[in-house]
Structures are given as structure tokens and as C-alpha cells.
Structure 1
Amino acid sequence: MRIPHLGASPYEYDSWRQSDTEAMALNFVEQKFNILYPQMHYDGPKPNYVQLEFQITTFLIAVLYKLFGHHYELARIVPVLFFIGSAYFVYLIARRFFSAPAAWIAIVLYGSLPLTFLYSRAIMPESAALFFFTGCFYFFSRWIDEDRLPPLIAASLFTALAISQKVPTVFVGLPMIAMAIAKYKIRSLWNWKLWSFAAVSLLPPYLYFSWLASISEYTFVSGIASKHVLPNFLHAFYSDEALAFFRGELPKAFTVWGLALFIAGLATLNWRKQYPIGIWAAAMVLEAMTVVAVIKFNYYLIFLGPPLALLGARFLQTIGKSRTGTAVSLGLLAITCWTSLQTVLPSLHKQHTELIRQAEAVRELTGKDDLIVVGTDDPSLLNASNRNGWRVTNTLPGKPIEEIHYFKNHGAKYFVPLKGFIYGDDGSTKAYLDAHFEKIEVEGGYTIYKLQ
């Protein structure tokens, strides 16, 4: 299902985030081949170090680019392989808590959910996060059952890497705490293995994000947490904006059928034996209510995918114990998968062709080291052009002319509207550019202004 359009550019759905990720991989190849120094193309001259997730996905893409050249197929292969790994862990978890038939159903559900489908082929870190997220749950549950060090070590490393990819994966700690308390009771408080697990899981991500904060121009991780999530996470879910977001995005992310199977799975779960799956699901619902309700990025819902697929498989297994029940179960599975496919297909054919053509013109008419300004707050055009520079973000409200001269005085050589579009412009910015700067007209209406 993921092979068609594998060579598509990042300039499709979520082109901002996809192109940022791909640009960081390219910067590893062309600028500094060091996983601890991720660079973006904005805002300003090089280097633009940024505080984001541990760059496993981008660095692997950079290695492939170095070996085989710059091909988008190589960039997409990395998240697809991480998806295969996470699907395998979903299978193993379902076998451990349910049965082999339920495990196969879980893989089919997990792989076809719209959000999982789209972001397992997207040039983004979500697929790697899902791999480590599902892996840490699996290995921790194995350690609880077996009490051997190898699964605990694996669980510690996978948890640390999951958090380093996406901090909200820390919510997987809730079912882990529940499993530990169920096994060790009060002794959990002084169990050295649990404390060691916590240290290995939490300390490396903390040190990594702290290190990046010390060198980065943009502290996205700590900035989003301190400015947006922490002040609002206790009450954001009840806001009209959050409720509207969930009403619109949950059905698109998992389909109405998938959500119904999730709820039915919770109702049929054997809570005495299978409580870790139920608590895992509840933990990720809590993550949605506290973190996603504030950020409102649909792809942050992706961590609901594994428990949703597991619980849907549990329900379909439960009703499929007779010949009639099997037919009903397979019918529900087929309807869910078909609905998912119809949801994702339109997204696979949409490329931002105007942006791609304008970027081709920029690469042809400007030098590799020229700084440019793009007329949008979205950096996709900068990334597609493979140029450093600035976005028009209206950082000087009501003073667009001063903003243009700010860019010019800091070395910007060209101003590039997106086929005439300038973010927040009432017409005065374009009029000023037309009157004061040389225009390079490109066939198709892709005007470029020469600032100096």
C-alpha cells in the first residue's frame, strides 16, 4: 500500500514538516555531518541549529543520500521501514495479550488506519517514534513476565529513544507504572531495577534536549512546552477550539468505523488479564486531551493508533468465534479498511506544483549561498529552493516595509513571493517592491525581486 508515490516530493500534505525534515537530512550531507547539529534553512544565514527530536530519521536519510544520491524514494524508505518494525511490535503485543488471529487483525487495522498510513510514508519522525513507542511497551511487558535483564535493558533504550523522538510518548509510562505496581505492589518504591529503568529512559532525552537548547536559534521542544502546553494542558480540552478539532480530526485520523471498534474493544477487554492494553489506551486518550488539545496538530494523534488497532482486533476476535461471527468480523474489518483507503487516497495525488516550479526558478536564478526571503510564513519554498533565508512572518506588525529593509540589511539578496502571494499583505508591500526593486520575471508568473 505504501509503494505507490514513494518517490513523491515532500511538498504534499504537511509540506512544512515534511520539507523541514528532508531539508535537515540534506543539510547533514551538505553542511555538517553530525547528528548533534541539526540545521534548518530559516530564519537567517547559516547555521540555523534547531532544538527538535533526536535526528535518527534525518541522519539515516542523509547516509542514504551520501551513498546513493538525492532521491525522495530513499527518504521515504526510512519511515516505511520504521513502520514495518512498529507493525511487528503491534503483532507481538497482540499475540502476548490476545491470540495469533487477533495479532494478524491488529496488523491489518494498524497498517490501514488513515493517520498511520499517511505518516508511515511521510518524511517525518513520527514513524520512528511509533517504532520505539511500541517496542518499549512490548519489552517492558516481557520484563514484567520474565524478570530478566535483557528485556528491561531493551525497554529502557526504546523508551529513551521514543521520548527523544516525541516527548508525548512519555505517557506510555502510565501502563508501565500499572504493570509494575500490579507485580511488585509497595516494593515498587524501592525496586532498583525500576529506578534504573526510569533513569535510563528519562535522563538521555533530557540531556539531549538541554544540549540542543544551548546551541539552537530555535528551541522548539522546550519553547512549545513552556509557552503552550504547560500553561494550558489542564483546561484546553474543554475549549470550543479543541472540541471542534477533535470532532473534525478523529474521524479523519481513524475513521468512524475504527473509533467504533476501539470503543467496543474497551468494552470487551478482559481487564483482569489484559489491563495493560486498556491503561495504555486510556493514557493516550489523556495525551490527546492534554497535549494534542493544546497543539492541535493532527499527527500528534498518531500515538492512539497502536492501542486503537489492538482493541479493535480484540473486539473482532471476540465476535468471530462462530462461523457467522467470523463473517461479521471480516466484514467489519473490510469496511474499516475500505473506508480508510478512501480517506487517504486524495492526499496521495496532491503535490504543490506552483511551489515546486517557483523553487526551480529560484535555484536557476540565484546562487547557492544567496540569502532569500520567501513571501510566506511556511518555509516550504525555502526548503524546496535549498536556500537559506527568512520567511515573511509579520514580526513587525504594521511595518512590512521596515521588515523588508531588515532582511535586506542582514544580507537578503532576493525576495520571492509564492506566485505573487505575500503573507499578510494588503497590497502595499507588493507595491513597494514593484516601485523600488528590480523584478526578474519568470514564465508562469513566478516573479523574483532583487533586493541588492
Structure 2
Amino acid sequence: MIWLPITVGVLLRLIQLWMPIVGVHSWRQADTAAMARHFALSDTPIWLPQIDWAGAAEGYVESEFPLFPFLVSRLYQLFGVQEWLGRGLSLLCSALTIWLVIRLGRRWFGARAGWWGGLFFAIAPLGVYYGRTFQAEALLLLCGAGCLEAHSHWRRQGPVWALLLSWLCFTCAGLIKVIPLLWLGLPLLMVQLNVKPQLEAATQTNILRRTKGLLRSPGFWLYVGASLAAIATWYAHAYQLGLTSGFSFGFWGGGSDRSSLSLLLDPGNWFNLSLRVALRLLAIAGVPFLFSGIWLSWRSPDGRTAISGLLGVLLCTLATMRSSSVHEYYQLPLLLFACPLMGLGWHRWQQRCRRWQSSALISLWLAISLAVLSFDYWALEQRQVQDWMPLAMRIRQELPEGSRIVSVTSTDPTLLNLARRQGWLISSKQLNPERLQSWREQGASHLAGSFRWEKMYRPMSEGRQRALRNLAAGSQEAWVDDVSQTYLIPLDAISASP
């Protein structure tokens, strides 16, 4: 029966797997896909990630450790640049994570709770969507679940390979994103402090004494120190790469702007985050079972491990409130800990309810998840494909490889990735004759964008629409798609300033 949650999860994640890189957070996926394409075509090493929006430069960028795009690039070299391969790798990682969530739930709360926890992970709206997007989140969750499972296995049975696997997964998670050091570190610490089952009845040592013993352990410091050294080495290299190239995702310094006191004290911000978690992670129906699972398990060591994971994600949210408010995938790690807890709450409730009640509720749970996915995610992908792919395909077909374009999509690199070209990102408000001349001199051939959209997710004002239409009208060689209202204008043919 373990295959039922995995099969359900895979089937949901297969929906629109063939889609180009569009939809919610397409800009994040576009950068990841660009790295994979450059790794494959230029055969550059993993420590030199490149993006598309570097203008005439090579585009080496300060980034997280690009493990996911590098793995996709190896698939590209075997099968060609087909972006469904990146989505497929995410799907594979997500399917393995479902299996690990079942194992974690079984280890913490019993077989039935683990099975239901795996099913809830399989159908969670955010879990489904980011389990097939072209970004590293699915791989990150796999590393987190693998670390917890391997470390728990080592603590109970003691094989050295499990400890080494735990360390590898923990280090990879920290390399992919820094914040797992907190949301994964806390539950790992709880696993380490838990007494082995065969000794638990005879051992009355308190948590403080065990903590002191852990801090005196050379193995503990070797585990933590080796991970931190590897992570620090990469981010020091990435920082120097950003200084040299001038391109960065803004991890460090005042420009990173991760959080602020005003955001932390804003009730509306917390309300929006809570609503997102309740609807897009727990599909509403899971909320009472999460609280039930917390109540039922908080006295047990394994329950405290799961709850510490929830607290770790909360602390990460406090530390990165601005990013957490904008990037919904920052809440994804909640699923690793919430799903086993919901499985426990559901299992206890199911023992007392009628069979038709549990069947009706799980059907409602699935219906809410499908509704969220359909309206908030899949429909947006379909609309953006219709809007942008005609322009992207025209660029691919008519402009030679290696040509550089100016994408009038503000800071959104989605069009550059869809067209598989490098160039400049610019807002329509920033267009002027001086910039047009500068781009020509640096090798730009065309101006491309839309009359309707400033970014893939932000409509353009009517005034900017008129200005861009006038610009296109000033060039007899401009191409305009009458349906999607996108345009492609040769820079050399522009005779009117915006």
C-alpha cells in the first residue's frame, strides 16, 4: 500500500509536466533553467553558474550552490535541451520525498500515521506544484527528509553509512539554501538528544545533561564543522564571483533586505502568511489535524522532533520575513514535519469516526487541493504559454544563436529563457534613446516584450502600452503578434523614441 500515496503524488505532478518555464515564480525557474542550459552548452564547471540577463558579459553570477541545474545539465547533454527533463528531475525528487515522509511518520508515530502523512504530502497544493517546477526546492526537501531519516536510523541502529548519508544530505541542503541550517538543524539536534529506545526506560538523564555530553563529543563538532566549512567555502567563492562579475541574487549586504521590524509587527503580513499556509500547504482540511497531531505528540521525543521542525521554519520566517512573504516556497519545509503530525491526528480521529465520514473528508481535501492548483497555478501556466511562446519561438527561429536582445520585462528573465537568448532586462519606464544607442553598440539586435505585461505577472499601465505601440509603429520591420500583443523590434530600425 505504500505505493498508493507515491502513485497519487506522481500522477498529480505529471500534469502539465511538458510546460515551458512559465507560471508562478517563473522568474526563479528561468534563472535555474538558464544555468542548466549554460552548463550543458558551454560545458562549464559547477562553480561557474551563468544567467541570461548579463547583457554583453558572460553572466557568471553569485548564487546558491547550483547542484540542481548542474544535474539537469547532465541530462541535457544526453537528451538535448528539453525543459521537461528539469521538471522530471523535480518529480523524481518529490516522489522519493513522499516515500521518506512515510518512513519518517512510521518511525515517529506508527505505520498508519506515516502512510496518511505520505498521502497528505502527495496531495498538498504547494507540494504538488513545486514538486514539478524547474527549481531546486524538490531536491532541497529530498535532502532534508533524507537527512532526518538517515540520522534517525543511525541513532537507533548505529550503522556508520547512515551517519555519513545524514551528513551528506545536511551539507547539500545547506549548500542549496542556507536556511536549512536552522529548520533542519533543530530537529536533527532533537534526534541526537533523544535516548535510544532500549535505554529509555532505564535512563533518567535530563535534556541539559545530554546536551552537555553532546557538546563534549568530538563527533558532534566534526559533523557540524565539516558541514559549515563546506557551506562557507562555497558562499565565499560565490561572493567573490559576484564581486568580479557584478551579478548577484542579492544574498549579502544591505541590498539583501531579508526582513524588517515593521514587517514582523504587521498583523496583515502574518494573516497573509497564515492564510497561505492553511490553504496552499494544508488545503484547509489539514489544519485541525495538524493541531491535533501536535497535541497528541508533544510529550513524546519523536513528537518534539517534528514540532521542533515547525519551530525551525517559524524562526527562518522571522529571520527572512520579507523573502518569506514574497516567496511562498520558503514555507515548503513545513510539509516535512506537518504531514506526519497530520497523519497522527487523522489516524486517531479515523479510529473514532464512521468510514463514510473519513472518505468524504479525504475527498474534500483532494478537491480543495485540485481547485487551488487549477486556479492559482495550472491556469496561469496555460495563459502565459499562449501570451509568450509565439514571441519566444519567433526569436529562436529568426535570430541566430548567440544574438543578444533587450527584454522589456523589468527584472523578469522568463522571456530570455523562453527564447534561449542572453541580453538585457529593462523596464518600459527606463527606455530612452541613449540606452537604445548603448545597446546597439554593445551588440544588441532587437527589443522584445509585450504591450500588456510589464512582467509575466504584472499588467502594464495604459500609458506605457501606448508608448510602446508608438515605438513599434515607428519601425516598418517590427513584428507584432495580434493575439498575444507581443512585439519584436530591430534596434537598427527604430526611428521613434518611446
Using structure 1 for the length normalisation, give the TM-score: 0.90
Partner Cα separation in structure 2 for residue 241 and residue 221 of structure 1: 26
Partner Cα separation in structure 1 for residue 363 and residue 313 of structure 2: 26
Aligned equivalent of 1:245: 272
1:204 aligns with 2:230: yes
Partner Cα separation in structure 1 for residue 72 and residue 469 of structure 2: 42
Aligned equivalent of 2:468: 430
Letter in 1 for 2:370: L
Residues 84-133 of structure 1, C-alpha deviations (whole Å, 9 max, x = no match): 12112111111111111111101100010000000001111100000001
User: In 2 relative to 1, CA 187–114 (structure 1 residues): closer, same or farther, beyond 3 Å?
Assistant: same
Partner Cα separation in structure 1 for residue 450 and residue 469 of structure 2: 15
1:286 aligns with 2:315: yes
Q: Tell which deviates more after alignment, 71-80 or 327-336.
A: 327-336
How far is 1:79 from its partner? 0.3
**Secondary structure, counterpart of 2:133 in structure 1:** coil
Which of 36, 55, 79 does residue 44 from structure 1 map onto?
55
Residues 127-154 of structure 1, C-alpha deviations (whole Å, 9 max, x = no match): 0000001111222223333444322221
User: In 2 relative to 1, CA 327–283 (structure 1 residues): closer, same or farther, beyond 3 Å?
Assistant: farther
User: In 2 relative to 1, CA 227–422 (structure 1 residues): closer, same or farther, beyond 3 Å?
Assistant: closer
Which of 477, 484, 490 does residue 450 from structure 1 map onto?
490
How far is 1:309 from its partner? 0.8
User: In 2 relative to 1, CA 164–235 (structure 1 residues): closer, same or farther, beyond 3 Å?
Assistant: farther
User: In 2 relative to 1, CA 306–182 (structure 1 residues): closer, same or farther, beyond 3 Å?
Assistant: closer
Aligned equivalent of 2:4: none
Aligned equivalent of 2:417: 383
How far is 1:256 from its partner? 1.5
**Secondary structure, counterpart of 2:424 in structure 1:** strand
How far is 1:53 from its partner? 2.7
Q: Indicate conservation of the 8 Å contact 2:451/2:468, yes or no.
A: no
How far is 1:308 from its partner? 1.3
How far is 1:267 from its partner? 1.6
Residues 348-387 of structure 1, C-alpha deviations (whole Å, 9 max, x = no match): 2433122111111222332222211111111111111111
Q: Indicate conservation of the 8 Å contact 1:236/1:290, yes or no.
A: no
Aligned equivalent of 1:441: 479
**Secondary structure, counterpart of 2:345 in structure 1:** helix
Partner Cα separation in structure 1 for residue 369 and residue 213 of structure 2: 45
Aligned equivalent of 1:338: 367
Aligned equivalent of 2:203: none
Q: Indicate conservation of the 8 Å contact 1:438/1:451, yes or no.
A: no
**Secondary structure, counterpart of 1:449 in structure 2:** strand
Partner Cα separation in structure 1 for residue 348 and residue 19 of structure 2: 40
Residues 280-327 of structure 1, C-alpha deviations (whole Å, 9 max, x = no match): 1222232233324544211111111111111100101222335x3665
Partner Cα separation in structure 2 for residue 92 and residue 195 of structure 1: 28
Partner Cα separation in structure 1 for residue 253 and residue 148 of structure 2: 26
User: In 2 relative to 1, CA 264–11 (structure 1 residues): closer, same or farther, beyond 3 Å?
Assistant: same
Residues 326-360 of structure 1, C-alpha deviations (whole Å, 9 max, x = no match): 65445433322221122112322433122111111
**Secondary structure, counterpart of 1:223 in structure 2:** coil
Aligned equivalent of 1:263: 291
Q: Indicate conservation of the 8 Å contact 2:472/2:478, yes or no.
A: no
Partner Cα separation in structure 2 for residue 165 and residue 199 of structure 1: 18
Q: How many residues align?
A: 447
Q: Indicate conservation of the 8 Å contact 1:157/1:200, yes or no.
A: no
1:189 aligns with 2:189: no
Which of 128, 134, 140 does residue 145 from structure 2 map onto?
134
Letter in 1 for 2:270: L
Aligned counterparts, 1:327-406, within 5 A = 328-346=357-375, 347-349=377-379, 350-351=381-382, 352=384, 353-377=386-410, 378-393=412-427, 400-406=432-438
Q: Indicate conservation of the 8 Å contact 2:324/2:331, yes or no.
A: no
**Secondary structure, counterpart of 1:6 in structure 2:** coil
Letter in 1 for 2:478: I
User: In 2 relative to 1, CA 402–252 (structure 1 residues): closer, same or farther, beyond 3 Å?
Assistant: farther
Partner Cα separation in structure 1 for residue 78 and residue 310 of structure 2: 41
Q: Tell which deviates more after alignment, 403-412 or 259-268.
A: 403-412
1:88 aligns with 2:130: no
**Secondary structure, counterpart of 1:447 in structure 2:** strand
Aligned equivalent of 1:304: 334
Partner Cα separation in structure 1 for residue 190 and residue 262 of structure 2: 25
User: In 2 relative to 1, CA 292–344 (structure 1 residues): closer, same or farther, beyond 3 Å?
Assistant: farther
Aligned counterparts, 1:52-91, within 5 A = 52-91=63-102
Unaligned runs of 5+ in 1: none
Identity of aligned residues (%): 21
Q: Indicate conservation of the 8 Å contact 1:90/1:103, yes or no.
A: yes
User: In 2 relative to 1, CA 17–173 (structure 1 residues): closer, same or farther, beyond 3 Å?
Assistant: same
Aligned equivalent of 2:344: 314
**Secondary structure, counterpart of 2:351 in structure 1:** coil
Q: Indicate conservation of the 8 Å contact 1:83/1:128, yes or no.
A: yes
Unaligned runs of 5+ in 2: 1-11, 196-209, 493-498
CA-atom RMSD in angstroms: 2.7
Q: Indicate conservation of the 8 Å contact 1:292/1:301, yes or no.
A: no
Q: Tell which deviates more after alignment, 303-312 or 334-343.
A: 334-343
Partner Cα separation in structure 2 for residue 226 and residue 170 of structure 1: 22
Q: Indicate conservation of the 8 Å contact 2:298/2:307, yes or no.
A: no
Using structure 2 for the length normalisation, give the TM-score: 0.82
Aligned equivalent of 1:214: 240
Letter in 1 for 2:334: L
